[in-house]
Amino acid sequence: MIHGDDRGMVLPPEVAPIQVVIVPVAAEKEPELVMSRVSEVAQQLRGLELRVQVDDRDGIKPGAKFYQHEMRGVPLRIEIGPRDAAQNTLVRAWRFTGEKVHLSMDALETLPDRLSEMQRAMLKKSSANLDERTISVHSKEEFIEHLNRQDGFISARWCGSPACEKAIKEETSATTRNMPEHTHEGNKCIWCGNQALKTVLFSKAY
């Protein structure tokens, strides 16, 4: 969810059902040439163990196809038209960065590495965002203050008691969201003051 934008989802390459979509453009002008090159590119990318879809649906304009695949978060779109087919090039459009450039078909073998780079960049961005939006608190007063300010995730020590969790939810509407591997210092539960067993991320749905 963290990678979505106003155009829809942005899927990390490792989890995307379709990593690359190939869209023929103006194929009706030279259908045999364009579709032959589309098939060639798809076969080569599948040989590189990428998950590839060819969107050759009739009756739908390329722009509508672009929109649909952007909305669904496909990491990489490749466009091939008559001129590209004749010049041994293609257009490469990255969903994460919005970068759109011409590429020689001879450079297709670089795409798995580029997708791996995208995966790392997306993880780095989301991790930085999570760190920025996570606040550690050490008192009940701090807990309530940051929740009211909608600062993001609240990291706090907690006893693990269902009764305590219920009390937190009833008074603040906050619920437990995640239990990080790392723990903070402190032996007392942020809410009830009993023995703390774990560090938990709390948040409130708005």
Tell me what pLDDT residue 206 has.
Answer: 67
Q: How confident is the model at residue 184 (pLDDT cuts 50, 70, 90)?
A: confident
The structural domains of the chain, with segments of one domain joined by +, span 20-129, 133-204
Average pLDDT over residues 82-103: 94
The pLDDT tens digits of the residues spanning 6-35 come to: 999 999 999 999 999 999 998 788 999 999
Whether pLDDT at 199 is above 90? yes
- pTM, entire model: 0.79
Q: Which of 21, 7, 87, 101 is nearest to 57 (CA)?
A: 21
The pLDDT tens digits of the residues spanning 111-125 come to: 999 999 999 999 999
Which fold does the domain 20-129 belong to in CATH?
Rossmann fold (3.40.50)
CB atoms within 10 A of CB 160: 15
Average pLDDT over residues 38-63: 96
Q: Does domain 133-204 have CATH number 3.40.50.970?
A: no
Tally of helices (H runs) and strands (E runs) in the chain: 6, 9
Is 128 strand, coil or helix? Answer: helix
Query: What sign has the CA pseudo-torsion 166, 168, 174, 177?
Result: negative
